[in-house]
Amino acid sequence: MGQTKRLRKKYETPAHPWQKDRIIEEREYIRSYGFKNKKEIWRELGGLKKARAQAKRIIADKLSTQAQKEKDQLLDRLIKYGLLTKDSKLEDVLGLKVIDFFNRRLQTIVFKRGYARSIKQARQFIVHGHVMINGEKVTSPSYMVSLAEESQVSFNPLSTLAKDDHPERVVVLTKKDQAILEETKAKEKESKKSDKPKNKKEVKEEVDIVEEEEE
């Protein structure tokens, strides 16, 4: 047994630490989504990789009863968090991108709903206990917000920010923050356009790779 007080890492570090394109991309993510450090990026990336790997295993063994059960559980979970739609298929999981996970974080939701002037201020409000979901205080900016919870995001009624006339409630975005918001929305549109469903040949190739690794 492992140490009970020692938590397991929920992310994997990059295989190669000095890749220019990846470093530039991660720096852009930190600027656009207000991450504290790169560990938060790797954690979301780990969730994406886990979902993709599970989808590939299910496709490779889709005839078994257990695979069908796992398929329903995986799709239900991703639909719950708005990462897939109700009519999505298992192959659509392979088309997900890491920014889809970024957009479901509480920090991003608070900023996009206009509760904060900047993505960094949204993080500050959450950490300081000013934000609630369904009447419960949430202090984790990385909390994944489900579709059912999205409409229940609000300010803590005990917080001064709950007042409509609070100076910080008058959201006047600076040119820099407005540019970041517009750039983020543009990337989402480009991502949706480029997320074409994988054809059977591409899916089969990925499944074959998984089967070879298992052997």
Q: What is the pLDDT of residues 23-78, one digit of tens each?
A: 999 999 999 999 999 999 999 999 999 999 999 999 988 778 888 999 999 999 99
Domains of the chain: 20-98+195-214 (no CATH), 106-187 (3.10.290.10)
Residue corresponding to tokens 């409000």 = 125
pLDDT of residue 117: 86
Average pLDDT over residues 151-175: 77
At 125, the pLDDT band (50, 70, 90 cuts) reads very high
- The three state secondary structure string of the chain is CCCCCCCCCCCCCCCCCCCHHHHHHHHHHHHHHCCCCHHHHHHHHHHHHHHHHHHHHHHHCCCCHHHHHHHHHHHHHHHHCCCCCCCCCHHHHHHCCHHHHHCCEHHHHHHHCCCCCCHHHHHHHHHCCCEEECCEECCCCCCECCHHHHCCEEECCCCHHHCCCCHHHCCCCCHHHHHHHHHHHHHHHHHHHHCCCCCHHHHHHHHHHHHHHHC
At 130, the pLDDT band (50, 70, 90 cuts) reads very high
Q: Is the distance from CB of 133 to CB of 152 less than 8 angstroms?
A: yes
pTM higher than the cut 0.85: no
